[in-house]
Amino acid sequence: EKYDKGLAKSRQTFGQRLNALFANFRSVDEEFFDNLEEALIGADVGYEMAVKISDELRDEVKLRNAKSQQEVTQTIIEKLVDIYEAEGADEKNSLNFAEKGPTVILFVGVNGVGKTTTVGKLAHQYQQEGKKVVLAAADTFRAGAIEQLEVWGKRADVPVVTGKAKSDPAAVVYDAVQKVKQEQDDVLLVDTAGRLQNKVNLMNELEKIKRVIHREIPEAPHEVLLVLDATTGQNALIQAKQFKETTDVTGIVLTKLDGTAKGGIVLAIRSELKVPVKLVGLGEQIDDLQAFDPNEFVYGLFK
Ligand code: GDP
């Protein structure tokens, strides 16, 4: 249901283009596939992906002997889900949790993509499930970042470990890890800095944070989630590649899908990064975060 609302824009554009395709639909001919390719590129699935999808569709439509609009639409939907899943058949979309002891999840990504908001939303979800959650404000650099996380801590009713402005973020994380170990908490969510102007510096900082966590809890961090803003389209892909070069990213959080007509970026990210999308942000409110489900997502686009 959340997908319904959140994907309204993507659906409008993508759906409208498809409807236009079908408006003077006579048969699934070459022109149809050309137009479909254009609609896919418009939805930001990326050029190669668009060509791949329409090529595979061509075969599938022939194979199934799909003729009516309904049959063709159904084929498109199933093919999109297939392609998404085939890109990472052995990966799971759900978050990795510790079997015993605290789970540590690190959030990385450039400023403004929605990191802090996502941490707040997830904290709320886990808190509602009865888990003991702690947040760590490891962005000690950007003015206001600590306070912003504290606001989310209040909203979600979970404690936030902070340090002084400009203090060593790894020290804040160390304190937070000690706290969750002592209190036997369930989840530690770490919000990190996102200043990409000084890339080397930032990557070193993230490495240090990871080392501190790993030293205290050997199997942690259990997830390193890269947060990307869907409205930035192909730019999100470029950012992702930069992060992936230096940090082991285990999953993607794609935010602001409610604010874009480019929901197709999900497919591009999947195929180009080989990292699963695990969560999607569909609004600014505390419960506007969803586990990513490729099936629901693609159906949501076509409703
Ligand atoms: P950070 O710098 O990466 O920590 O980004 P913030 O969490 O401060 O978010 C930046 C802006 O994006 C804020 O105005 C958020 O309300 C907004 N935002 C975050 N996630 C979403 C989302 O899923 N949908 C929409 N529409 N806005 C979002």
Tell which residue, 134, 107, 128, 121, has the closest CA to residue 188: 134
Give the mean pLDDT of 179-196.
94
How far is 66 from 181, CA to CA, in rounded Å? Answer: 58
Quick: pLDDT tens for 215-252: 999 999 999 999 999 888 878 888 888 888 888 899 99
The pLDDT value given to residue 179: 98
CA of 160 relative to ligand 1 center, distance in Å: 19
DSSP letters, 197-229, are GGHHHHHHHHHHHHHHHHHHSTT--SEEEEEEE
Q: How far is the CA of 288 from the centre of ligand 1 (A)?
A: 11
pTM score, two decimals?
0.88
Confidence of residue 12 (pLDDT cuts 50, 70, 90): low
Torsion angle in degrees (nearest 10) through CA of 154, 208, 112, 84: -100
Mean pLDDT of 89-108: 86
Strand 160-161 and strand 187-192: the pairing is unpaired
Which pLDDT does position 189 carry in this prediction?
98
| Percent of the chain at pLDDT exceeding 90 | 47
Cβ-proximal residues to 253 (8 Å cutoff; 6+ apart), any chain: 107, 109, 114, 118, 225, 226, 227, 228, 277, 278, 279, 280, 281
Cα angle value 92/1/276 (rounded, 5°):
20
Query: Which pLDDT score, from 0 to 100, does residue 116 have?
Result: 97
Give percent of the chain with pLDDT exceeding 70: 90
Q: Write down the pLDDT at residue 88.
A: 61
Three-state SS for 161? strand
What pLDDT is recorded for position 196? Answer: 72
Residue 110 pairs in a beta bridge with: none
pLDDT mean across residues, the chain:
87
Alpha carbon 255 to chain centroid distance? 6
Distance 113 CA to ligand 1 centre (A): 6
Q: What is the pLDDT of residues 140-153, one digit of tens each?
A: 988 899 999 999 99
Which of 284, 287, 289, 290 should be mutated for ligand 1, with most atoms under 8 A from CB? Answer: 284
Residue 184's pLDDT band, with cuts at 50, 70 and 90, is very high
Which residues are near ligand 1 (CB < 6 Å)? 109, 111-117, 194, 255-256, 258-259, 281-284, 288
pLDDT confidence of residue 169: 95
Radius of gyration from C-alpha coordinates of the chain: 21
pLDDT band at 258 (very low <50, low <70, confident <90, very high): confident
pLDDT of residue 15: 64
Bind-site residues for GTP: 109-116, 191-195, 255-258
pLDDT digits (tens, 9 = 90+) for 26-76: 777 888 888 888 888 887 788 888 888 889 989 988 888 888 888 888 888
Q: Which residue has the higher pLDDT, 241 or 22?
A: 241
Which of 2-11, 23-32, 247-256 has the weakest average pLDDT?
2-11
Q: What is the pLDDT of residue 49?
A: 83
> Does residue 118 register a pLDDT over 90?
yes
